[in-house]
Structure 1
Amino acid sequence: MRANTIALAGNPNTGKSTLFNTLTGLKQHTGNWPGKTVIHAEGSFEYNGEQYVLVDLPGTYSLFSNSTDEEVARDYIIFDQPDATIVVLDATSLERNLNLALQVLEMTNNVIICINLIDEAEKKGIRIDEKKLSRELGIPVVKISARNKKGIDQLLATLSDLVNGKIMTTPYRMTYSQEIEDAITKIESKLKVYFQDTYPSRWLALRLLDGDEELILKLQHHNNNRQLEVKTHDVPISVKS
């Protein structure tokens, strides 16, 4: 039976590594990402008779590929396409942490928001309505304390339901100005011809509009060098697919 691959994403200092250790215990190993000096941590665990491989992505504040850590995290979600991505947020700094979560929601549908450090938030009088947040974001939201192992069972049950298709998500996507939305639509139609549903076409269109040259090189590498031309604001961008 194939193991489910799960990406663990989050800002630095959200308790992501604590959750990783809680779930995987001693069944983990570290090394470097291929061609990078960034640490690659991977572990495994079993839940309800199913095997899971958990990949701890570098802690980042965004996924715009402005640093090696961001590039590694972004590329894993886009090109390795894990079965689910858990985004760990700090309950005491939820608004700041949501920036990364919204970026992940542009990239994949199978996302769980994991609000960690809930015990610390409660000490500060912070109350979080996870059900309302789940409705707003269109994905499951679970509150936990990884350090105290509070909420872990609910997280695992939610993860199992998500990867087995028992939870259908409708992730929130940012809406931009009409000019940008029109450009996105035009670029998406071109991208879908070449990539079908291999990659998230809306997210790719946004990155191409941003002039993300690094992403263009990655698409060349992953798609057998077949030429694709996309125009963004009448500026041709050459992408090989």
Structure 2
Amino acid sequence: MKREYVIALAGNPNTGKSTLFNALTGLKQHTGNWAGKTVTIAEGTYVHKKNTYRLIDLPGTYSLFSNSTDEEVARNYIVFEQPAVTLVVVDATSLERNLNLALQIIEMTPNVIICINLMDEAEKRGITINENVLTKKLGVPVVKITARSKKGFALLFDTIDRLVSNVIQGTPNVVRYQPEIEEKIAKLEPFVRTVVNDTISARWIALRLLDGDESLLQELMKRWNRGEEEILCPQTEHMVHI
């Protein structure tokens, strides 16, 4: 049975994300603007094993903390539109710096593949990366590619196919914070779950509300048609700086 799946491409600027997008979609792409935003959206498709994959090239960002319109657009798409796969493109030559965004995304959704791009440049510099160790540490699939030459694409296609078919599942290793933060998350998380059910990671929302993410609070109020007092738990309201 033929199906269509949505894949979001996320990553820092200059990781080769657009190169990967172009290599996957070829001429089957178009651009426009996000509704109500000046941020450009690029969308394209490719076909694999008779399934159609619709790729959404999210704005390149260094984080998803709502510090800019680009960050809000990328965050909202991953969290609320819930693509079948979020493909996080990272630069093999700056892996440690790039994984900061990857860790933020796997807190939002388990449907993640880490795509380590620019492996040709890494090899020139004598950099070796053990993707199997990274997969175990992160709890999500890790694939090495070079988008310019399409090296590693066969494995990438196969990994995406297995993830959307539930042959494999992401089980992200949860980032643990200081005890006092974990205590506050534990108090707020059940209350958040009553608002969003299991549609979104209640732990992630609790963490962002504790950090005072006003933009996310406004988005939750709009999408769930709830008032501020219905989303903020009385026991924790003083911890959310709004």
Range into which the TM-score falls when normalised by the shorter chain = over 0.9
- The 1:234/1:5 distance shift into structure 2, 3 A limit, reads closer
Provide the rounded CA distance (Å) in 2 between the counterparts of 1:181 and 1:217: 24
Provide the rounded CA distance (Å) in 2 between the counterparts of 1:123 and 1:228: 51
Provide the rounded CA distance (Å) in 2 between the counterparts of 1:148 and 1:232: 55
Q: Which has the higher strand share?
A: 1
SS of 1:46 mapped into structure 2: strand
- The 1:155/1:232 distance shift into structure 2, 3 A limit, reads farther
Show the counterpart of 2:50: 49
SS of 1:230 mapped into structure 2: coil
Provide the rounded CA distance (Å) in 1 between the counterparts of 2:102 and 2:190: 26
AA of the residue aligned to 1:235? H
Does structure 1 retain, via aligned residues, the 8 Å contact 2:19–2:147?
yes
- The 1:222/1:137 distance shift into structure 2, 3 A limit, reads same
TM-superposed CA distance for 1:3, in Å, is 1.2
SS of 1:59 mapped into structure 2: coil
Provide the rounded CA distance (Å) in 2 between the counterparts of 1:23 and 1:232: 48
- Structure 1: segments with no counterpart, 5+ residues: none
Show the counterpart of 1:153: 154
SS of 1:153 mapped into structure 2: helix
Does structure 1 retain, via aligned residues, the 8 Å contact 2:212–2:241?
no
Show the counterpart of 2:180: 179
Does structure 1 retain, via aligned residues, the 8 Å contact 2:221–2:231?
no
TM-superposed CA distance for 1:238, in Å, is 11
**What aligned pairs does 1:58-69 form with structure 2 within 5 A after superposition?**
58-69=59-70
Show the counterpart of 1:87: 88
**What aligned pairs does 1:190-205 form with structure 2 within 5 A after superposition?**
190-205=191-206
TM-superposed CA distance for 1:2, in Å, is 4.3
State the Cα RMSD in Å.
1.6
Show the counterpart of 2:37: 36
Show the counterpart of 1:78: 79
Show the counterpart of 2:231: 228
Provide the rounded CA distance (Å) in 2 between the counterparts of 1:71 and 1:135: 30
Deviations 1:155-184 (A, max 9, x none): 010000001101122102210111110110
TM normalised by structure 1 equals 0.95
AA of the residue aligned to 2:166? G
Alignment of 1:129 with 2:130, yes or no, is yes
AA of the residue aligned to 1:229? L
TM normalised by structure 2 equals 0.95
Deviations 1:101-146 (A, max 9, x none): 0000100000000000000000000000011111111110000000
- The 1:236/1:181 distance shift into structure 2, 3 A limit, reads closer
Q: How many pairs does the alignment contain?
A: 239
